[in-house]
Every structure is written in structure tokens, then in C-alpha cells.
Structure 1
Amino acid sequence: MTLAATDTPLVASHDAVLLDLDGVVYRGGEAVPGAVEALREVREARLAFLTNNANRPPEAVAEHLAQLGLTPSVEDIVTSAQAIAGVMSHDLAAGAVVLAIGGDGLREALRARGLVPTGDRHAAGLAAVVQGYTPDLGWRDLAEAAYAVQSGLPWYASNTDLTIPTAEGIAPGNGALVHAVRLATGQEPVVAGKPYAPLFEETMERLAPASPLMVGDRLDTDILGARRAGITSLFVLTGVNTLADVVNAVADVHPDFVGADLAALHDAHPAVVIADRVAHCGSARVELRDRTLTVVTEGTSTETLRAIVGLGWACRAESDVHLSVNETIDA
């Protein structure tokens, strides 16, 4: 696979921009530098915010974004809690009682779909167990989930991200907690969050865009999910995965476009020309030297990143060896 190209600003080719939140728009409570400014410059495309984090209800997410300087409506926020609640409402009878291991966002999403969340594993008529992220979750919660799953109840999970980016670094995500229950039970949950289909299906149903663009910082969720859904993707370097991760990624998680941050929405993305293990993109020149992709001449950040990634993918297609990167992009 090669990178897609456009000689006009990337956002001009799309009527909706679907944005991951953690690691793309903000880290913890703080905005990613430049993210708010870049999103304010989007004029024609609708912005939607897709998050695998099931902890907060959409109203709280919208309020957080408003505090950062954005103006989303609640309908612009799509959470994995909403997506898994939608899946469960199709599987379970209306009014079914569900053991909910997670935050307010998960419980509110279940109620909105006609389900009854409880924290009591012994509640009468318990029909299923669902697991979502909350920073307050402890061992007892995981044990209760495991006991419920072992009893034969169907098990659902909002998402399986192993990590979550925060203002202080990378922390364990819901996937790490789900894995603890998996180890205890030997069972697999039904999952709604990226890269699985339900979160994208929920978003497409709300927006009905003709040409959506997914923006994410994780290859295994944002980019893989977009590829499975047939949605064009932009990878940004402000969250979990690194440039070396992208260069060495398998084809299934190759993004269509790469950028240092959300400012890449407003950049042209010139074609990458490769010959004799040298790549040119705009003013950027990158060479392969002893398994290291080396920037010889910088262009714009987007041009330089594209030259690095384009050359890396081309070289790995010839010989599947791990490549390192010697570059000076600030991201």
C-alpha cells in the first residue's frame, strides 16, 4: 500500500471529519497543542468525535470540549458506551437488568437504550454483564465481572484499548482490565469500540456522510477500524503510536495519510516519488542508510513525514526488516 495524495488541503475532500479524542484532541484534561486551532479552521466539513473511552456521558465530553474552545453538540459525540448499549439492546429484552462495570457514561448509555444497569451481581433477573473504563475501577469490580461471566451470562465490553494516553503519560486502558477478566474466565466479550464495527455504524447512521475522514493516533483501533469500515484515515503523531510504529506496521493498519498533528488537515499531501531507496515529497528528501530512514532535506512537516513513511513501506515490501528513523520532526 502507498500513501494517498492530494494537491489541495486534505479536509477539502471530505464532508465529515471523525476524530478520536484521547491523544488526538486532548490528553487528559488538556488540549493537544494546536488541536483546537486546527479544528476551528475547519469550515465546510462536519466534526464528529468518536471515543473508545466509555467513562463519561456525551454531555460531559461536549462540556470538556467547550472548555477547550470548541463548540460541539451532544449529537457530535459518539462513545463506545453508546455503541455497546446499542448492540446489547438488540440482543437483550427491553428492561433487561445488566451488571455494569464502568462509569456514568456506560450506565447512562444503557438506560437510554431501555436497559437497567446495576452494580449488584445478585440482582434478580440479571441478564448480562458489560465492562467499560473508569479510573475508579478496582479489583472487586473485576472479580464481580469474572464471577458473572463464569456463571454463564453473556459478556460485553465497550472497547479493548490496552492503553490510554493521559497528560502524565501512557496508562492502562480498558483492554487491560478486560484482559484480566478474560484470563480469569477463558471467555471473550462482544466488543463495540474501534476497531470493531458498532462504533463506526453508530456514527454513519447519525451523520450519513458521503466522504468521511477518520483521524486517530492508534493504528490498532482508529486506523484498523477505519480500514475495515472503508473510511479514509489520517494518522497523527500526538498520541500512542510513533512514527517508527507506522513505518514498520503491517499493511492492515496502514493509514491513507500521515501528519504531525491536526494541522495536517489543512495541508496538501503531495505524492511520494521513490527511486533507488530515495524518496522525494515536495521539498523533502529521505534516504535509506543501513536500515535507517534518514532525512537529508526537510520539507514541511507533512512532506517530510510522507517521504519517511512512503520510503519505509516501499523498502519493507521488498524486505520485511525492522527500520529505524532518523528525523527531526517535532511531534
Structure 2
Amino acid sequence: MLLDRHDSILSDLDGVVYAGPFALEGAPEALNRAQDMGVPVAFVTNNASRSVSTVAEHLVKLGVKTDSEHVVSSAQAAAEMLKDQVTPGAKVLICGAQALADCVKDAGFEPVWKQNDSPSAVVQGFNPELRWVDLAEAAFTLSDPDIVWVASNTDLTIPKERGIAPGNGTLVNAVATATGRTPLVAGKPESAIFTTGAKKLKSSQALVVGDRLDTDIQGGNRAQMATACVITGVDTVESVLAAIPLERPTYLLKNLGELFEDYPDIEVSIETNGAQASCATHRALVTGNKLAVSGDSDHLNFWRVSCAAWWAAHPHVDVPTSPEEIVHEQ
């Protein structure tokens, strides 16, 4: 089975384990099964609005066996990044939740909330209760080019139980528009948060599991780890097919339960005007901008061979690129 290839799991939360307060079907059971098999699990989250203990408590309530030591947050990563940017004990303006302020304090800095407090840096993280005045305070402070700006993450969206909602990236973009500045980014898609998680688990063959190409998969790839995209959150099989090289996952899964199934061996060959990929049940052929696929279209192998062939034919694209036509051949 697929999980035999790896010695740990670094799992995203939103869109992988749960959506809002509710567990995704089968996710807690899959994670517990992995741990029972001796494969440890750490949770790597870009959500900076909750403490790691609160995240762990939520997971336990959903039936996941874990604790705060197995949660790595972008708030922690942002606080650690500040250590390389400003002097110890410096004042840091918080544009985010109390959990972010607590991480900043634990890292040896003094959290403040107003420009008049003379901060040396601004750290911004997601807070569903953030107000316009909070964003304005950050923008006013960042008008000084010497003020360091660190963002916990730049996720544009976040999956909730009612659908897709604006994420921290939209709030960061609001401040960026007002200031003309670009922040340093601590969490995903940067690699540090993943290497931190792997070190906690003493892992050398970690598998990064996520639902977002631009954060989970890109970050895992940056960390030179195997990556798996589950189709239970933001990205779809169509967006995975169109992905740029940095955001192409090692594996494509319907859900966490497929960690315990055999993953198909896919053979790829470069053709004169495209590429071909095949497994035991499916075959895909790229000719120019056309993709022809044979096999059951309801099986995920349909998309796995499609991705393998399409990516082989388009190894260096800079923007998401899709076939002009996908033909299903019986």
C-alpha cells in the first residue's frame, strides 16, 4: 500500500481532516489507523488564529489521537522568523488573533496593538474577527519602510462547512494594496514549517498531505518531500491536471483512506508531439493540446494517468495549463 513508502505523515487540517468544526468522513479513522501501524502524524496548519493546544483539543474531540506536541502552526513559524529580523525583546504589532500574540511573546518579543507603541515589526495572521481598524493600524505602521512585516501565511481561501471563505491572504493583500509592500511569509508554501514537523517526528521519508496546490503541495515540494493532494477541499482533479511543476503532487488521492490502498505504477514515455502514460487499467495520450484517455472515467486512475501524460508533455509551464480538449476513449 502507498503508506508503506513513508515513515510519517505531515497533514494539513482544513479540507483534509475537517471543514469548519466537522470532521471529513473517514479522516479521523484513517489518521488513527496510520498511527496504530506505527506511522506518526503531525498536523501542519496555516491557521494562526488558534493555539496549538486548541487545535489539538479540536482534533481529539473529532476522534483523532493526538496532542499539542504534534501540531505545528504558521503562528509558531512567524514568531520564529521574527528572531532573524528584529532584536530580542523588540515590540511587535499584532494584526491577528491572541494565539499569534502568544507565540510572539513565547519567542521573546513584546506584543503590541497600536502604532503609537513604536513597534519594530508587524506580524499578520488570520483572525475571523479582524476589523478594518486592525488592518489600517498595520498599514499605518508599515508606512515606515524600516518596519519588518511578517505574514503567517497567504492562503487566499479557506474551506468551511458552508463552503469556501476568504483566507488570510485576502487580508494580507488588503494591507499590501494600501502600503505597496510585500511581506515575508512564514508558513506554507515555504518549506520551514514542513521541515520543523519532520524533525519533531524524527522522519526521513515524510509524506505531506494537503488539499491545496499553492500551499500544501508547493510547500512540501519545496521541502523536497513526497506530496499527496486529496480531493476533499479546495483543489480539484481539473486544477491538479493544470498545475505548474512546483505544485504537482507525487500522489493524487480521493481522501485519506486511499493511503492504505495500492497506488498504481504509471509508465510514462515522451512522444514526438506529446507524451503517453499508462497503468494497469488506464492509458492517456497527449497529442499537441489534446488529451485522450481510455478506461473508466469514474476511477481516479483516469486522472492519475492524465496528469502523468500532460505533465510529461508540459514540463516547464509558468502558468496553470489545461488541455484544449479531453477525449474519453472507451
TM-score, length-scaled by structure 2: 0.88
Q: Where does 1:8-27 land on structure 2 (aligned, <5 Å)?
A: 9-27=1-19
Report the 3-state secondary structure (helix = DSSP H, G, I; strand = E; otherwise coil) of the residue aligned with 1:18: strand
Letter in 1 for 2:208: M
Q: Which residue, 122, 137, 141 being the options, matches 2:134?
A: 141
Structure with bigger RCO (C-alpha 8 Å, 6+ apart): 1
> What is the aligned partner in structure 1 of residue 192 from structure 2?
198
Q: Which residue, 181, 185, 188 being the options, matches 1:187?
A: 181
The worse-fitting range, judged by mean Cα deviation, of 311-320 and 163-172 is 311-320
Distance 2:128 2:302 in 1: 38
The worse-fitting range, judged by mean Cα deviation, of 201-210 and 31-40 is 201-210
Q: Where does 1:194-273 land on structure 2 (aligned, <5 Å)?
A: 194-273=188-267
For residues 228-264 of structure 1, give each alpha carbon's deviation from its aligned partner in whole angstroms, at most 9, with x where no partner exists: 1111111111111111111111212111111111112
Distance 2:304 2:322 in 1: 18
Shift of 1:294: 6.2
Q: Which residue, 117, 120, 123 being the options, matches 2:111?
A: 117
Letter in 1 for 2:10: L
Distance 1:287 1:256 in 2: 20
Structure-2 change in CA distance of 1:31 and 1:163 (3 Å): same
For residues 38-68 of structure 1, give each alpha carbon's deviation from its aligned partner in whole angstroms, at most 9, with x where no partner exists: 2122122110000011010001100110111
Structure-2 change in CA distance of 1:133 and 1:86 (3 Å): same
> What is the aligned partner in structure 2 of residue 160 from structure 1?
154
Structure-2 change in CA distance of 1:198 and 1:66 (3 Å): same
Distance 2:30 2:327 in 1: 27
Q: Where does 1:281-296 land on structure 2 (aligned, <5 Å)?
A: 281-286=279-284, 296=294
> What is the aligned partner in structure 2 of residue 170 from structure 1?
164
Structure 1 vs Structure 2: percent identity of aligned residues?
39
Count of aligned positions: 318
Q: Which residue, 18, 30, 36 being the options, matches 1:38?
A: 30
Q: Confirm or deny: 8 A CA contact 2:291 2:306 kept in the other structure.
A: yes
Q: Confirm or deny: 8 A CA contact 1:159 1:192 kept in the other structure.
A: yes
For residues 60-103 of structure 1, give each alpha carbon's deviation from its aligned partner in whole angstroms, at most 9, with x where no partner exists: 10011011100111110000000010111333233222110111
Distance 1:77 1:325 in 2: 41
Distance 2:202 2:292 in 1: 42
Shift of 1:150: 0.5
Q: Where does 1:84-99 land on structure 2 (aligned, <5 Å)?
A: 84-99=78-93
Structure-2 change in CA distance of 1:97 and 1:326 (3 Å): farther
Report the 3-state secondary structure (helix = DSSP H, G, I; strand = E; otherwise coil) of the residue aligned with 1:226: helix
> What is the aligned partner in structure 1 of residue 45 from structure 2?
51
Distance 1:47 1:81 in 2: 19
Segments of structure 2 that go 5 or more residues without pairing to the other structure are none
Structure-2 change in CA distance of 1:326 and 1:172 (3 Å): farther
Letter in 2 for 1:146: A
Pairing 1:60–2:54 present = yes
Q: Which residue, 303, 310, 313 being the options, matches 2:311?
A: 313
Letter in 2 for 1:284: H
Shift of 1:106: 0.6
Structure-2 change in CA distance of 1:325 and 1:168 (3 Å): farther
Segments of structure 1 that go 5 or more residues without pairing to the other structure are 1-8
Report the 3-state secondary structure (helix = DSSP H, G, I; strand = E; otherwise coil) of the residue aligned with 2:50: coil
Pairing 1:132–2:132 present = no
Structure-2 change in CA distance of 1:150 and 1:263 (3 Å): same
Letter in 1 for 2:136: A
Structure-2 change in CA distance of 1:321 and 1:39 (3 Å): closer
Shift of 1:206: 2.3
Distance 2:303 2:263 in 1: 10
